[in-house]
Chain A
Amino acid sequence: MNKPVKSVIVVGGGTAGWITAGRIAAKHRCSSESAVQVTLIESPNINIIGVGEGTWPTMRNTLMKLGISETDFMRACDATFKQGAKFARWVDGSRDDFYYHPLMLPQGFGRVDLCSYWQAQQGRESFSNAVCFQEQVCERGLAPKLITTPEFGSVANYAYHLDAGKFARFLQNHCVNQLGVRHILDDVVGVQKAKNGDIESLKTAHHGDLSGDLFVDCTGFRSRLLGDEMDVPLVDRSDVLFIDTAIAVQVPYEQADDPIASHTISTGQEAGWIWDIGLTRRRGVGYVYSSKHTSEENAQDTLAQYVGPAIEQLDVRKIPIRSGHRQLFWKNNCVAVGLSAGFLEPLEASALVLVELSAEMLAEQLPATRGVMDICAQRFNDTFQYRWDRIIDFLKLHYILSKRTDNDFWNDNRDPTSIPDSLQALMSLWQYRSPGDQDFTSNNEVFPAASYQYVLYGMGFKTETAAYAHTLIEQELAREQFGKNRMATERALAGLPRHRDLINKIHEYGFAAV
């Protein structure tokens, strides 16, 4: 049982595989003589799914930890900046119905809770505009930084939009050439197991047996190791999140210098919603919907309406979605990262962030021996069970406040039996006070209270402040913070460049490291 963990085998060469291999290799300084070796085996016959195009700001930290230059990354992956999400037609479905979930915390967050003061104002200004300058920056198509801002530095908080296929190849090159990850192109044709149920080795088509101490399943929806070999079932969550199909298309810009949106646009449709993500040379657009609430023909029409006549020349890909996650993420010496662990509709870009969080925990808490591995596995399972539950709650929140009635998709989403108890409990509390950090006290939180505030008040939720009216004694401080935000907005709008212009400059000049 004291056998040291010296060899990590990652199966699958998509973004999940390479991020995990890279984080472990970077942390444990892999090279031919080092204590821990990381091998990634990838089938030359299976394409990566590559639809994950939205990230979180956490990606900046992930890239830094991997020792990647932001300029190199952005150039190689057609990457652009993402400053949040714009939710259009989610509240009542009308033409001018939209709100923002920006990536910056409300002004003065932690010092004063502006929600109640904003509500008391009864103004026509949106919550996000009252407390944060990012909605306006996005509406004007501006970038979150300047060409003089150093790599990974920001004026406004940001994440990325990227081409997932190019990102996987870019990571591969970096992991193999800079971080000492061994890369094998071969098919896994069988798995040998030990008496205790551990995976002993993988049988490959051309490279013999590949033995290892820890196996990371990054095989995508197939879940070749954790699902097939370790028999860990999928926990279906389609009782909460109804979306089960995606149809996706890549739409080139009409003109090479068309503006690039600096946010994900998510537009509510009759039985789901359409994502719209701007990269450097094309947009990624897709309709995710519930096949129980609409036909494929209707869905195709909806997508065609959104994209316009250009869709005639484009390939529309259909991807089935199973909303859910594995009952365990780590069993014996096998851990799943990425789609093999589970998938939820991409409403808040949770796929890549879960990969990053998993890779981080694996790298930081890699078990030293097989003896302590079960403890690590237990902690990993507890952590990620909590995270999946919180993400499911937060995604569901977007649906339950909608007033749309044009399709039962929206009505069914408001059915209390489809809303997790944990979310219902929070909603009860928020009738009387706004979401705060005290509502989210785990070390493993994914979404901060601020995100709940943006969605709740963006969707038009009303908190009855009367019960706590006696606590609203910081009028002066609140006024000051609203004023600060107005000034920050003016400065940002005057100083930030057009998103497309900055992208062009990154390709021409690049950012400096300092």
Chain B
Amino acid sequence: MTCLVSLHHKQHRNLRINPQAVETQNANLHMVPVVLSEFLKLAVQYPIAFTKNRDTGRFVCVAMLGLEPGENLFVQEGNWDALYVPLQVSRQPFFVGQESGNDSNQEKLVVCVDTDHPGVSEQGSERLFDDQGSDSPYLSSAKSKLAELFRGETEIQAFTDALLELKLLQPMRLEITLENRQSLTLQGMYTIDEEQFKRLPDEQLLDLRHRDYLAPIHTMITSLGQIYALVRRKNATKPVALGAGC
């Protein structure tokens, strides 16, 4: 169950966050939606690719955390083992909600908290408000992450639409053989079609430059090399004992 309420400095005065629990909460997440502003930080460790939303078929830009559903190769022994944690994870347990105003029909955006999130606890290391009721540095940082994500959602959608319009997306097919000889096929992932990108007429290329899309396109292409890093992490994980009561 999730319990979503808007954040209030009196009501949530004693609420604390345990950042480690936030990270391990996502131990089964094998991909996470990302925004353009974090591409460079992501590309140092994560492959950035596209997948389709199962309900709508629409493309979503994601960082890959594992090679199979349910697998997050970055969460190891209770820690998120990476230089950078994607915004969509590190902003938890906060999110942006809508609240209808009292004296107008306009809806305003408010910061909410999921009080049932395992990262919320009285023993957590991070306070949300100081004694005066002002935002703690931790909350301020979380709010700026939310703002970045909120802005980023429109940007990444426009970026995705531009790639689709130029037919720059292609399915990615990857057969991986692990050290234990187990083989797996990566399915449902899409990436930039480099050949099509090279063939783009000058006019369209210039348009991509003016919209500041060239850098993220190159970053995405380069980041695919991180799939090898994922394979390496997977090879390093302890094999699951077989035949144990299953």
Q: Which residues of A contact B (CB under 8 A)?
A: 146-150, 505, 508-514
Contacts and interface: CB of A to CB of B under 8 A. Distances in A.
6 contacts: A148-B57, A509-B58, A511-B57, A512-B58, A512-B164, A513-B167
A492 B216 CA distance: 38
6 smallest CB-CB distances across A and B, nearest first, come from: A147-B57, A148-B52, A509-B56, A148-B57, A514-B169, A509-B57
A148 B190 contact: no
B171 A514 contact: yes
B171 A512 contact: no
A161 to B, nearest CB: 21
B170 interface: yes
Contacts of B52: 147-148, 512
A148 B188 contact: yes
Contacts of B58: 509, 512
A149 B171 CA distance: 11
A514 B190 contact: yes
Contacts of A512: 52, 57-59, 164, 169
Contact of B54 (A148, A510, A513, A514): A148
Most buried by B among A146, A147, A512, A514: A514
A149 B56 CA distance: 11
B222 to A, nearest CB: 21
Chain A interface, >50% SS class: loop
A514 B52 CA distance: 10
Interface in B1-60: 52-59
A513 B57 CA distance: 11
A150 B52 CA distance: 10
A514 B56 CA distance: 14
A147 B164 CA distance: 16
Contacts of B55: 147, 505
A508 B52 CA distance: 15
Interface of B: 52-59, 164, 167, 169-171, 188, 190
A148 B171 CA distance: 12
A173 B189 CA distance: 35
B164 A513 contact: yes
Contacts of B57: 146-149, 505, 509-512
Contacts of A146: 54, 57
A9 B167 CA distance: 35
Given A147-B55, A509-B57, A509-B58, 14 more contacts: A147-B52, A147-B54, A147-B57, A148-B52, A148-B57, A149-B57, A508-B56, A510-B57, A512-B164, A512-B169, A513-B164, A514-B169, A514-B171, A514-B190
Contacts of A509: 56-58
Contacts of A147: 52, 54-57
B114 to A, nearest CB: 28
Contacts of B164: 512-513
A511 B57 CA distance: 7
B188 A514 contact: no
Nearest to A148: B52
Nearest to A149: B57
Contacts of A514: 167, 169-171, 190
Contacts of A508: 56
A505 B170 contact: no
A508 B55 CA distance: 11
A510 B52 CA distance: 12
B31 to A, nearest CB: 14
Nearest to B56: A509
A60 to B, nearest CB: 18
Nearest to A153: B171
A510 B53 CA distance: 12
A511 B59 CA distance: 10
A150 B55 CA distance: 14
Contacts of B167: 513-514
Nearest to B167: A513
Given A512-B164, A514-B171, A505 B190 contact: no
A258 B57 CA distance: 23
A508 B56 CA distance: 8
Contacts of B54: 146-148
Nearest to B54: A148
A501 to B, nearest CB: 10
A148 B189 CA distance: 11
A187 B199 CA distance: 47
A143 B164 CA distance: 25
A486 to B, nearest CB: 22
A149 B54 CA distance: 10
A505 B59 contact: no
Contacts of A150: 171
Contacts of A513: 164, 167
Contacts of A505: 55-57
A508 B169 CA distance: 21
A173 B58 CA distance: 27
Contacts of B188: 148
A150 B58 CA distance: 11
A339 B182 CA distance: 58
B240 to A, nearest CB: 24
Contacts of B59: 512
B191 to A, nearest CB: 11
A514 B167 CA distance: 9
Contacts of B171: 150, 514
Contacts of A149: 57
A187 B136 CA distance: 81
Nearest to B188: A148
Contacts of A511: 57
A198 B189 CA distance: 57
A148 B57 CA distance: 4
B60 to A, nearest CB: 11
Nearest to B51: A148
Nearest to B170: A514
A513 B164 CA distance: 8
B198 to A, nearest CB: 18
B66 to A, nearest CB: 19
A505 B54 CA distance: 11
A508 B171 CA distance: 23
Nearest to B168: A514
A511 B169 CA distance: 14
B65 to A, nearest CB: 20
Nearest to B59: A512
